[in-house]
Every structure is written in structure tokens, then in C-alpha cells.
A and B are shown apart, each in its own frame.
Chain A
């Protein structure tokens, strides 16, 4: 279904050559010695299209840039270079009312239910603030909307006048979802929405998200490290390594037949529920190189079991392979396409 959409529809979000660099502060001794400032390259040329009403899963190891990407899209980080287009219009240089207009349509939900809500504001205050700042409703309409939102995320009656500490982790995430929905966004960015929750509660929040998405026609960027969950909720999945997309494709295809050696290793490392599928050797040796010092050529060649001379020299571009795209010189041979 999504493939056919892809060819006809224009993407809702289109990200081109996105770079995000954070400069480290120089220590006194470094300044005196004249050593250059160290730069953390969190994003290294991300190219990604997000289709309307799809769920795009984003996976990768910690430090690979998946949260930075989410924050750039939500307008919380200012990319160093590159372009983000929303419905065909660049949002990088938006100012004033048009900036607020974009911010309203792309809403973020955060990982930690304990720190992302103001402990001194009741749920009603939290939701009212969002609604009044963006002038979504007036007068008595505000409180009606608050009740409507709480109903939408299935919080019990009377929840509106309670404080965050009176709720469980799962309920707090529902409040976070209600806050995001209060601005009637087109696109939700969920950064590790359920990672902090107990397994038995995760399913409740995921079910709610799926249902809301279908009812409201939302586009969802689902950033998470739980691969099983990403596979379940996503139409398409993007795998990030060291700030660049190494593979993107339809969820089922990517999980059943990953093309990039990194995707293969990541999937193999995730614990399976099948006790007979045990391995003695780890799926991937070594660790993620520091984003202060990204290796030349293919960024994965240091850990890659298939690395050849070419990989050390030339950085592979993201190109169509099989059902999706992969950034590997030998994707066809390795993925068995």
C-alpha cells in the first residue's frame, strides 16, 4: 500500500543532506596549545522522505543521531546545514507566525514521563497552556477541549485536576500524547515513547497510538530501540548509523531480509524469544566509533565483516536496492538480492 502511495503522493516531510554539528568547548590547555576545536558530528547528511499518514520507524544504537534527527524535525535543534521541507516548503528559515504554524503541526512526545511534565502544573493547566498559546480554542471551549483530549487518550474522569505525580508512568505518557494532540498536529515525533514503561503497560500505549493514528490520519515518526516494537508499528523503517541512514525500506522486507550488514548485525543482536536460537558468539564485535572522529569511507567498515578495500576509501551513497534503499557498496551480494 505504502509503495503505491510513495510513487504518487508527495512526501509530507522531505529531508535533504541534513548535517548537525555540535562544537565542543575548548579547554584552556587546548586553546594554549592551539589545538582545533573538537566537533561532534551528530548528523552526517541525512536524506529521508516521510509520506503522509505513514509510521516511519527510526532505529539505531545510542549516539547514532536518532534523537538529534527527531529534534531537528520538531524544530528543537537548528541543523548546521541541509534542508527540511514540509509539504514542499522549506522550514529551516521560517520565522515568527509561520514558524509557530509549523511547530503546531509537528509535535514531539518525549521519552521520560517523569521529567517531561511540569510537576507543579495540573494536567488541565498543562493542556490549557498549549491550547491558549496557540489560540486553538477560546473561552469555555478550552475546558471542553481539555475534557475531549483526556477522553481521547482514555484518562479517567477527574484526571484533569490532578498533578503529574498522581499518575503512573503509562498514564503520564498518555498526558504527553494529549498535550501533543491538543494542537491538532499533522505529524507526531515519538522519541522512545514507551521505552521507560513496563512491558505490560507498553502495549496499552502502543495500541492507543495506533488507534489515534488511524482515526486522525496522523503521520508518526517512531524513534525507538526496541526492534520488535518498531517492526510491529511501522510501515517503513530507517536504520541510522553514525548520523547517516544506512538502510530504509518497508518494515517487513527490512526485518525479514536486511540488505545492509549493519542492519543485519543489529537485528541479529536483538534478543529473540526463541530459546533454541542461541548463539555463542556475539553478533557484532566492537563499539560505535566516537562521533568526534568518524572513520573515512564507509563509516561501518571498522566493524563490518564484509569490508573490502573500496569501503575504506569511498563512502557509499544511499541507493535503491531491492524494495528499499541501502548505503553499501556490496548490498546486492550481502543482502542476497
Chain B
């Protein structure tokens, strides 16, 4: 409701992340701009290879040294892009924390969970040993691990997948971050456990006023968790807006197709809408719109002229040359069904 009044904590402008030779770079993220406000959950949706994880990693500079990050990333008014490793490290984990998809491979299997939490506390706070232990118990308690006091001495393999993800979140929260970057935090988990973790992230964001960027490929996760959503395709943003608006009234042909391919309100066992073709590879992106090859309404200019992200409503932005045609194309299909 009062989203508009809250301050913008992260302002990403024309982010471009490339890999490989400078003469023939692979551009994983190309001209991506978005903002996140305090206490807001932004969903970044896209298929594998769309650049959503690289966008997240570029914010913290963990794509370097192989990746080159260009553009501006203003974190509370300060640009993170030109910072060196030492300066970035003071932001990373302290003000901005990150959780990953695979909780088993992100935790150290040889250290107890208690040690891994206090390691982070020692790095980012002035607490002494005793206070660190108390805080570690408090954190495990907060993320919903039963009998937290008795579990500090346990190793990661003694926890289930969902519990490990909770431990990861506890470690991330140790330094009271103002921004949490969550890279597919529930993809490896069952729906019932996914549901528990997402409700936890939501509650933490609401209660602690923490901003969250949630990367996912699941529109359902976005619908249930995020305040705003940005849809990515081929390393570029194709549509942004409040979750309910984008899901209820998508405007970009890719988002329209993606939502249409999810079975809902269609007679059982009828053919589903499917986007023809396969996602593009990074070394074969056209100069224009990345979706051209699979788009049902693409015109001759789409291949060569890149559509900019243009405002279509108060909070909506869409990058498409043929918005009216796209809407007409998909509403005809709707009427036919």
C-alpha cells in the first residue's frame, strides 16, 4: 500500500555482464535496470539461461574476475560497480546477503552449523563468543528450527533439505542485512517445504523491513510471494510491474505465452499452448528483440531494432514493438478456448 513512500535501497541502471573475449563477448545480462524498495519483494522470473542468476551475482560482484560488470548498481546511493574486492567485501554478507539453490553445496560439510553462523557473526558484528552463541540460537529459532539450542553442534548432513535452507537463511540473516538476494531458494525442495520457506522469507521481509530479490522460474512462486515482478528473457528485461497486474494482464508476448502454457482453466487433456522453439543461446542473440525467433507477432523491425522498456501504466513497463498485436493475438486465442 505505502510502497510508493518507501525509500529505494537498490537502483540498478543499464547493468551489463559479459564473459569471454572482449572482442567477442558473451553478454549474459544486457541493459537491465530496476529498483528495489525497503521491505519489498521483487521477483526476477525467467527460464534457465535468461540471465536472472547472473544479474543477482553481478550485484555482489561475485561474477568477477571472469565476468565483466558494466553499468551502475547504486546501493543506498553508492555505486558498487567500481568498488574493489576489499570494499565490496564490507557490503557483501553484511548489508546484502545471498542464499543459493543448493543448500548442501553452499554449507561447509566439515563445520558444525553453530560454527558457520558464528563465523558470519564474528566477521560482521562486534559480539563476543558468548553473545555470538546466544545470537546463533536466536537466529535458528527465528527461521523455525525446532530445539535450536541442541542443534548448534550438528553438521549439515544431519539436517534435511528444508532445514539446511533454513540454516542458510539464518546465516544470511546473521548480520541483519537490508537486502536479501535469494537465488531459486526453493527449487530443490518439495512443495510443502517450499511453502514453509517462502512464508518465512515473506514474514522476515515484513517484520524486519528487509528488501528481497527472489529469482525463480516458477510463476506460481511469484504470484504467492512477490510484490513486484520483472520478467527476463535472453539477458534482458521484457516486462515489469506489480505481481497481480503482470500475472492477470501480461503485455509482452513472452510473458503472455509463458502464462498461457501453464495449465489453468483449460479443459483437461486438451493441447496446451506452447511457445515454439527453444530458448536462444547467448552467442546467437539477434541485435533486436531477443524473443523475435519465437514471437507470434514479430515484425520485420524486431530482429534489428531493440525495443526499449517503455512505461505502459503507472508502474508497468514493457519492451515490445507490437504491444497491441500481442494482446490481440492472445485474446483471440482466449476467445477460441
Contact = CB atoms under 8 A, between A and B. Distances in A.
Given A200-B47, A232-B268, A273-B262, A265 B192 contact: yes
A322 to B, nearest CB: 19
Nearest to B220: A271
Contacts of B268: 231-234, 251-252
A207 B263 contact: no
Interface stretch (B88-96, B270-278, B307-315, B320-328): B270-278
Contact of A270 (B191, B219, B244): B191
Contacts of B261: 199-200, 202-203
B256 to A, nearest CB: 11
A281 B274 contact: no
A203 B272 contact: yes
Contacts of A309: none
Interface of chain B, main secondary structure: helix
B266 interface: yes
Nearest to A213: B269
A80 interface: no
Q: Which 9 A-B pairs have CB atoms at the shortest separation, nearest pair first?
A: A271-B220, A203-B274, A232-B263, A269-B195, A198-B47, A200-B275, A203-B272, A203-B261, A275-B244
B253 to A, nearest CB: 12
- Classify chain B's interface size: 35 or more
Interface in A289-327: none
Contacts of A276: 244
Interface of B: 47-48, 160, 162-163, 190-196, 198-199, 202-203, 217-221, 223-224, 243-244, 247-248, 257-259, 261-264, 266, 268-269, 271-276, 278-279, 294
Contacts of A211: 271
Contact of B190 (A61, A251, A271, A279): A61
Contacts of B223: 271-275
A270 B198 CA distance: 12
B124 to A, nearest CB: 29
Contacts of B191: 61, 225, 227, 266, 269-271
A190 B263 CA distance: 19
Query: For A234, A235, A274, which residue has the most chain B Cβ atoms within 10 angstroms?
Result: A274
B195 to A, nearest CB: 4
Given A170-B278, A231-B268, A287-B193, 16 more contacts: A55-B269, A61-B191, A171-B278, A198-B217, A199-B219, A201-B274, A202-B261, A204-B276, A206-B272, A229-B263, A269-B194, A271-B218, A273-B219, A273-B223, A273-B247, A285-B196
